[in-house]
Amino acid sequence: MSALRLILADQLSHAISSLEGINAEEDVVMLCELIEEARYVKHHKKKIAFLFSAMRHFAEELESNGYAVRYIKLDNLLNTGNFDDEIKRAIAEIKPTRLIVTEPGEYRILQKMKEWPNSFGIPVDILNDTRFLTTHAEFALWAQGKMQLRMEFFYREVRKKYRILLDSDNKPIGGKWNYDKENRKPLKSGLKIPKRISHKQSSIIKEVLKLVEEKFPDHFGILKPFHYAVTRDQALIELNHFIDELLPDFGSYQDAMVAGEPYLYHSLISSYLNAGLLLPLEICKAAEAAYRAGKAPLNSVEGFIRQILGWREYIRGIYWLYMPEYGEKNDLAATAPLPDFYWGKKTDMFCVAETVRHTRDHAYSHHIQRLMITGNFALLTGINVKEVQEWYLAVYSDAYEWVEMPNTLGMALFGDGGIVASKPYAASGKYIRRMSDYCDHCRYDPNVMTGDNACPFNALYWDFLVRHEKKFRGNQRMPYIFSTWDRFGTEKQQAIRNQASVTLQKMKEDVL
């Protein structure tokens, strides 16, 4: 009665459901490095190096816990490079009586899994992913009959379910569910941002870096220096460092952007959380404990917990509720090709160049860079939603389709017609100037609307709204925007639209 237990690259948790009830005498745990998974979008070099290193370390931990592990390295000569053939090969050699796996984070792979009983001729158990705090059924029940699926209300339910930041009467601590009004400040000058920690490079990491260098030279991104945690112990060190040193200022500066500072007060835990090295509830409890011990203020702690308990769970709920139709949505009919400067080609827009630089160097940029710089630019210029999604999925080390797609298509591109966002996150250069120091380094001027030195975001912002006027004029959350446009008068309106069309042409020619 031996079972083959398959662990995917983003399931590196000893508490994963596919390991429950494992029989160390008979069962075999399998992990495989697959060229098809590394290339179906050309993942960032650092992302591949992170996943392969973490997988190898995890396999070692399983072995030292006494389990039989079948680990297929990328350069194993017998490696067929894809899930189906690797499992077939394993079944032929091991002859298990069943295959056990935890549901994947991508619809594409779930469809494959459903074929597996037929293809392999043995039963396949596809188990729930119990790392998440909300099941698909719970999310569907919450969504049932609602006109709008607002994250804020979902978040309150999850907080109640797990009794996070509640007082003894089950009311939110401090009297409010949400302290965002105290957040979203630009960075104060002179504030010293704590240095991030780095980890000793194991021989596993060194071997993987060599492999990635050799096998993926054409993938985007800089591989070294490689600073990622690759084990649960290291990820916990990262988490504790964040809670002790950075959480107190997380809330206030969550939306700030500073040249040369990719991380600011962000936690950098998404890659570890999404790959299974950390679990969501332990993170929220650690943040809550910091608040209760008086080490971090409520605005920061609540804001941070909301990202994980609220946004992350909500985004996953949306993905599984609406797939596969969700993936085909393109509500604003965005079709322009993705400009080469998303891949690092020169652009004079400092904000875009800086965000792409952070992405290239670290396989990371923080939320506001993703949403209000690269996302906002793609929204305003109508870049093809599939190309934009593919970019986000490839370049960030925390990206898997369940989390990347609703964030990109729904939140950043408003391509799902308003399921995730009640209004588009469209902004002109004014917002970027307020929240960052980027404009100080830019050849464009955020205060200028037309002419050669005008910030491209300004005219593009109005042009976008006017192009989609039918959809947005009646939006309750955008009451004054169109009255401002109306007050501009015909001449100014025409000048803005001309400026936008020159900018769009320059974007096509990659000379922006």
**Interacting residues toward ligand DLZ by CB under 6 A:** 8-10, 32-34, 37-38, 43, 48, 51, 104-106, 109, 400
Q: What gap in Å lies between CA 286 and CA 291, rounded to an integer? A: 9
Nearest to 48 by CA among 184, 279, 220, 264: 220
Question: What is the per-residue binding string for ligand FAD in 394-423, x denoting contact by CB under 6 A?
Answer: --x-xx---xx--xx--xx-----------
CB of 44 to ligand DLZ, least distance (A): 9
**308 part of the interface to ligand FAD, by CB under 6 A:** yes
Cα separation, 27 vs 492, in Å, equals 72
Nearer to ligand DLZ, 105 or 424 (CB): 105
Cβ-count burial 119-154 (b if 16+ within 10 Å, e if not): ebebebebeebebbbbebebbeebbeeeeebebeeb
> Which residue number, 11 or 307, has a Cβ lying nearer to ligand FAD?
307
Does 349 bind ligand SF4 (CB under 6 A)? Our answer is yes
Select from 265, 456, 459, 472 the one that contacts ligand SF4 (CB under 6 A). Answer: 456
Residue 268 is a binding residue for ligand FAD (CB under 6 A)? yes
Between the two ends of the chain, the Cα-to-Cα distance in Å is: 63
By the rule CB under 6 A, 512 interacts with ligand SF4: no
Q: How far is the CB of 402 from ligand FAD (least distance, A)?
A: 9
Q: How far out from the chain centre does Cα 244 lie?
A: 24
48 contact, one of ligand FAD, ligand DLZ, ligand SF4, none, CB 5-8 Å limit per kind: ligand DLZ
Nearer to ligand SF4 by Cβ, of 253 and 431: the residue is 431
Instruction: Give the containing element (helix H, strand E) for 46.
Output: helix 45-64
- Give the list of residues 6+ apart from residue 34 with CB closer than 8 angstroms, or none: 74, 79, 81, 82, 83, 86
Asked if residue 326 binds ligand SF4 (CB under 6 A), the reply is no
350 binds ligand SF4 (CB under 6 A): yes
The answer to whether residues 264 and 253 touch, using CB atoms and an 8 Å cutoff, is: yes
CB of 136 to ligand DLZ, least distance (A): 15
How many C-beta neighbours within 10 Å does residue 486 have? 10
From the list 157, 179, 155, 175, the residue with the least C-alpha distance to 167 is 175
CA dist 362 and 452 (Å) reads 33
Q: Is the dihedral of CA 394, 399, 404, 408 positive or negative?
A: negative
- Residue 375 found at the interface with ligand FAD (CB under 6 A): yes
Among 310, 375, 410, 429, binds ligand SF4 (CB under 6 A): 429
Residue 392 touching ligand FAD (CB under 6 A): yes
Task: CB nearer to ligand SF4: give 246 or 353.
Answer: 353
Instruction: Please state, in angstroms and rounded to a whole number, the distance separating the CA atoms of residues 272 and 153.
Output: 27
Q: How far is the CB of 168 from ligand FAD (least distance, A)?
A: 27
Q: 102 or 300: whose CB is closer to ligand FAD?
A: 300
Closer of 256 and 268 to ligand FAD (Cβ):
268
